[in-house]
């Protein structure tokens, strides 16, 4: 069956001398994989559309097993992701997380929009680190993880000073800190942003500026939470962390 999909290339694997196997996250069907025959040849009509991060329409012959890409139409190459090494690192982490978190042929329009919006923002002039943290917080529900971000995860208080507790799976107020001696002390501004990233509509993102020390707080909390609960091992994360360290030194 010949089917048309709107999607984003999230992984490519060379196959033989001239072919590629592409993984595409699509609006209609979730993650799908297809052979792009001859795509490694520079004069191939599939060469451009089968590149990583490409957003487009894909005409795929589906059936049992691996599909075959017949043709494609680029909506946006998201070129900004490929012209800056830092943007490339963040985008690679985002698409690998989607790849590792999903199975084939499981549609999730919410995740498609989240992926599309996040890559667009990273491609533009938004802070790629902050966009990635927003993406990570919004990915939690896709992973079936629901930290308590509205109130204290122990007593339910909504007012007071808060820290973040990995053990208690969410916010913990100053009255309950002794219940978790290993809680993460965070500035209230960092707590506010962590909560905001989890709940707000990414479509409404405006100008956002975050101090370097606050970014470090956010990164530490999110990294620790993912390490404890997600079960994901993202290869590009190590490279991204190295890029972050390099950026701090520049």
Residues 6+ apart with CB under 8 A from 121: 131, 202, 205
CB-CB contact of 53 with 25 (8 Å): no
168-177 tens-digit pLDDT: 999 999 999 9
Taking the C-alpha atoms of residue 119 and residue 114, their distance in angstroms, rounded to an integer, is 9
> Whose CA is closest to 99, among 87, 110, 115?
115
Taking the C-alpha atoms of residue 185 and residue 115, their distance in angstroms, rounded to an integer, is 31
What pLDDT is recorded for position 248? 66
What pLDDT is recorded for position 250? 60
Tokens 């506010």 found at: 192
Q: Is residue 229 part of a domain?
A: yes
For residue 193, the enclosing domain spans: 81-146+182-249
Same domain, 133 and 207: yes
Same domain, 32 and 88: no
Q: CATH number, domain at 33? A: 2.40.50.140
Q: CATH number, domain at 132? A: 1.20.1440.120
Q: How many CB atoms lie within 10 A of CB 28?
A: 13
Q: Is residue 174 part of a domain?
A: no
Instruction: Judge whether residue 14 has pLDDT over 90.
Output: yes
Last residue of a domain, one of 79, 112, 129: 79
Q: Is residue 163 part of a domain?
A: no
3-12 tens-digit pLDDT: 999 999 999 9
Q: Is residue 139 part of a domain?
A: yes
Same domain, 110 and 25: no
207-242 tens-digit pLDDT: 888 999 999 999 999 999 999 999 998 999 988 888
145-187 tens-digit pLDDT: 999 999 999 999 999 999 999 999 999 999 999 999 999 999 9
Q: Is residue 44 part of a domain?
A: yes
Last residue of a domain, one of 79, 100, 133: 79
For the segment 195-218, the average pLDDT, to the nearest whole number, is: 92
């Amino acid at each position: 069956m010949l089917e048309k999909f709107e999607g984003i290339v999230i992984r490519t694997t060379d196959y033989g001398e001239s072919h590629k196997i592409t993984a595409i996250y699509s609006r209609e069907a979730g993650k799908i994989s297809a052979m792009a025959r001859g795509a490694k040849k520079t004069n191939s009509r599939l060469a451009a559309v089968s590149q990583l991060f490409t957003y487009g329409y894909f005409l795929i012959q589906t059936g049992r097993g691996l599909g075959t890409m017949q043709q494609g139409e680029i909506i946006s190459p998201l070129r900004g992701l490929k012209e800056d090494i830092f943007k490339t690192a963040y985008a690679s982490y985002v698409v690998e997380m989607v790849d590792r978190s999903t199975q084939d042929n499981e549609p999730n329009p919410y995740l498609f929009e989240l992926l599309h919006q996040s890559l667009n923002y990273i491609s533009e002039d938004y802070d790629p680190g902050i966009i990635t943290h927003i993406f990570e917080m919004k990915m939690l529900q896709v992973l079936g993880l629901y930290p308590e971000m509205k109130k204290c995860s122990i007593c339910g208080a909504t007012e007071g000073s808060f820290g973040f507790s990995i053990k208690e799976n969410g916010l913990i107020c100053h009255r309950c800190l002794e219940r978790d001696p290993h809680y993460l002390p965070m500035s209230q501004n960092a707590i506010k942003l962590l909560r905001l990233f989890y709940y707000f509509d990414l479509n409404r993102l405006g100008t956002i500026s975050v101090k370097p020390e606050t970014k470090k707080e956010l990164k530490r909390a999110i990294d620790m939470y993912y390490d404890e609960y997600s079960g994901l091992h993202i290869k590009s994360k190590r490279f991204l962390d190295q890029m972050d360290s390099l950026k701090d030194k520049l």
